[in-house]
Amino acid sequence: MPSAGRQFKDAIYEQLGRVGKALASPRRLELLDLLCQGARTVEALANEAGQSLANTSQHLQVLRMARLVETEKHGLFVTYRLADEKVCAFYRELRTLAESRLHEIQAVTRQFLEKRGEMEPVDRDVLAARVRSGEVTLLDVRPKEEFEAGHLPGAVSVPLAELEVKLADLPHDREVVAYCRGPYCVLAVQAVAVLREKGFRAIRMEEGVPDWRARGLPIEMSTKEIYS
C-alpha cells in the first residue's frame, strides 16, 4: 500500500496535471491569448480564432473545468474572462519558454515576416520615447472591444477592418507604428502592409498590451477614439 507521503504527492501532481492537460491544445492556447486582451463572448472568440462555435465552446469548457477561465451570462450571450491575471502571466511564461527552447518558432516567424517585406519589430523603449515626443502615430489595430479593455498610452483605435476607410485621417508627415495582440498576432503585419502600399512610412511593434503590462508599463482604459 502506498505511503501517506506517496499518496499526497500523487494527489498534488494529479491536480497540477489538470492544468497541463487543459493547455495541451494549440486551439486552447490561442483562446487564452485572446482572453489576455479582455473578456469576450463565445461568438467573438470563435470568430477571432477561426473556429466553429461548437469547437470553441468545447475548448472553453475544458479551460473552465481547469479553473483557468470564468463565465458570466448576459441575456443569451455567455462572456468568458480569465479567472486570474496569473493565467495570462503563465501563458506569457510558457510562450517565452517555448521561444527559448524551440528554434522552430523563430524559423516560422522569420519566414512569415520575410515574405512580407522583412517587417522588423520596434524596440519598445525607443517607441515609448518617440510616442511621448509626438514623432509617431501609434495605431491599435485590434477590435474596439480589446482597445476599450486596455491599450497603450497615446494609441488610436483603428481596427484593421476599418483601416482603409480611415487612411485620409492619418497624418502623412509622421511615421505610423501599428500594434495588436503580441508577437504572433498578424493584424499589425497586415495593417503595415496596407499602410505601406498607400504611401505611409509604417512599422509594426511586436509587443502587445499584456507584454507592456507585464513589464510594469502603463496601460490606459478608455473608449475615446480620435479617428471616428
How far apart are alpha carbons 83 and 65 in whole angstroms?
Answer: 11
pLDDT, residue 112, reads 85
Spatial contact of 57 and 41, defined as CB atoms under 8 Å apart: no
Show the cell assigned to 207: 509587443
Domain 4-88 class, CATH top level: mainly alpha
Q: Percentages helix, strand, coil for the chain, rounded to the nearest 5?
A: 55, 15, 35
How far apart are alpha carbons 124 and 127 in whole angstroms?
Answer: 5
Spatial contact of 212 and 219, defined as CB atoms under 8 Å apart: yes
CATH of domain 110-214: 3.40.250.10
The residues spanned by each domain of the chain are 4-88, 110-214
| H/E segment holding residue 84 | none
Q: Which residues of 120-133 are buried (b: 16+ CB within 10 A; e: fewer)?
A: eebebeebbebbee
Q: How many Cβ atoms from other residues are within 10 Å of residue 171's Cβ?
A: 10
User: Which residues lie across from 77 on neighbouring strands?
Assistant: 74
Q: Give the active site residue among 36, 88, 180, 185.
A: 180
Parallel, antiparallel, or unpaired: how do β-strands 136-140 and 175-179 relate?
parallel
Burial class (CB in 10 A: 0-12, 13-18, 19+), 186: middle
- HEC string of 104-140? HHHHHHHHHHHCCCCCCECCHHHHHHHHHCCCEEEEE
Asked if 180 is an active-site residue, the reply is: yes
pLDDT mean for each 10 residues of the chain (228 residues): 91 96 97 96 95 97 97 89 96 95 91 69 72 85 94 93 94 92 92 94 90 87 50
